[in-house]
Amino acid sequence: MADEILHDFFPMLRVYRSGRIERLTGEDIVPPSIDSLTSVQSKDVEIEPEINLSARIYLPPNADPTKKLPLLVYYHGSGFVVGSAFSPLCHKHLILLVAQANIVAISVNYRLAPEFPLPIAFEDSWRALKWIAEGNDEWINEFADLTRVYLGGDSAGANIAHNIAMRVGSENPEGFNLQGIFLNCPAFGGEDPIGCETAEEFKKRAEFSKKLWHFICPSMKDRDEGWVNPGKDPKISGLGCGKVLVYVAGKDHLKDRGWYYKEVLSNCGWKGEIECVEVAEEDHVFSVLTPDNQVSMDMIKKVASFINKILSP
């Protein structure tokens, strides 16, 4: 008898009754390099080899150790189940951002569900941040200013960035200062549909997301847990940074989750600054999927400005 499909999350992955996992996308990788167009350098590092936790670090051209640069810690998207820090899309996106913003960046290659269900991706991402603060890499030590650290990510990676910032706020770790977070089409959810999630055109995508949340975290009670739905998190005012930039896409079923996040942070007692930008005719994580078009380049310029703007004392 043919191996029966147990979970079908096309076009991302399928799980078969035998236990076989077939990833349908996100398997391609590119090596670190010196980019021919921007001269951005990259290298790969091992953080905890025993659990296969690694990262890719990016250095802009003409980096000068006497003029240290902001550090962006980045988390890739793709539903916590596919993709990597070494994918061609993630690699190109970060090269363009590093070149535009003149920053150091490190892209974390956290472990994926279902082999490693949530909260393992969060734990890996936290380990990586602690590894950075402990001074384990020469490029970061020499060129990055750990008083100006930012977290960022797209989709699931944006969810990670938020949750790591929440942990920074609660634990106040030493060794770095988290200035802000950048969330690109953040993958948040909730039990009750909001905004465009009720629209007929988005119902299938919303149902897909619902099933995926329970698949990646079987221990989850429901999608109103604070790490999925920040609006239900009683500790949300403790977000551990002073500024937030959110991008949403007009054709994305998750867009109103981004706007809701802005509303929650603006009214919970958090003392920081948040801006949400909607790009009308684009879809989910457009700037990663099509980095060369004008709206994507405009977004990268906006993120660069956000990272380089010094917070008022």
Residue where the block lists tokens 């509303």: 263
Distance CA 40, CA 80 (A): 27
pLDDT single digits (tens) 132-160: 999 999 999 999 999 999 999 999 999 99
b/e burial code for range 81-103 (CB count within 10 A of at least 16 → b): bbbbbbbebbbbbbbbbbbbbbb
pLDDT single digits (tens) 61-87: 999 999 999 999 999 999 999 999 999
pLDDT for the residue numbered 104:
98
Q: Is 106 helix (H, G, I), strand (E, B) or coil?
A: strand
Q: From the candidates 76, 284, 287, 296, which is the catalytic residue? A: 284
pLDDT in tens, the chain (313 residues): 568 999 999 999 999 999 999 999 999 999 999 999 999 999 999 999 999 999 999 999 999 999 999 999 999 999 999 999 999 999 999 999 999 999 999 999 999 999 999 999 999 999 999 999 999 999 999 999 999 999 999 999 999 999 999 999 999 999 999 999 999 999 999 999 999 998 998 888 989 999 999 999 999 999 999 999 999 999 999 999 999 999 999 999 999 999 999 999 999 999 999 999 999 999 999 999 999 899 999 999 999 999 998 655 4
Q: Is 287 a catalytic residue?
A: no
Neighbours of 127 (CB within 10 A): 16
pLDDT for the residue numbered 264:
98
The one-letter amino acid at 109 = N
Distance CA 4, CA 280 (A): 41
Q: From the candidates 54, 84, 87, 155, which is the catalytic residue? A: 155
Largest CA distance in the chain: 67
Q: Which residues contact 267 (CB under 8 A, 6 or more apart)?
A: none
Q: Is 287 helix (H, G, I), strand (E, B) or coil?
A: helix
Considering Cα of 30, then 35, then 40, then 42, what sign does the dihedral take? positive
pLDDT for the residue numbered 3:
86
Token reading at 180? 């802000």
Distance CA 36, CA 94 (A): 14
Distance CA 141, CA 193 (A): 45
Q: Which residues contact 305 (CB under 8 A, 6 or more apart)?
A: none
Q: Is 155 a catalytic residue?
A: yes
Evaluate whether 287 touches 302 at the Cβ level (below 8 Å).
Answer: no
Q: Per-domain residue ranges for the chain? A: 35-308
Q: Is 252 a catalytic residue?
A: yes
Q: pTM to 2 decimals?
A: 0.97
pLDDT for the residue numbered 309:
87
Q: From the candidates 35, 124, 137, 252, which is the catalytic residue? A: 252
35-308 domain in CATH 3.40.50.1820? Answer: yes
CA nearest neighbour of 59 among 10, 99, 3: 99
pLDDT > 90 in the chain, percent:
94
pLDDT for the residue numbered 307:
98
pLDDT for the residue numbered 1:
52
Q: Which residues contact 197 (CB under 8 A, 6 or more apart)?
A: 203, 206, 253, 256
pLDDT single digits (tens) 163-197: 999 999 999 999 999 999 999 999 999 999 999 99
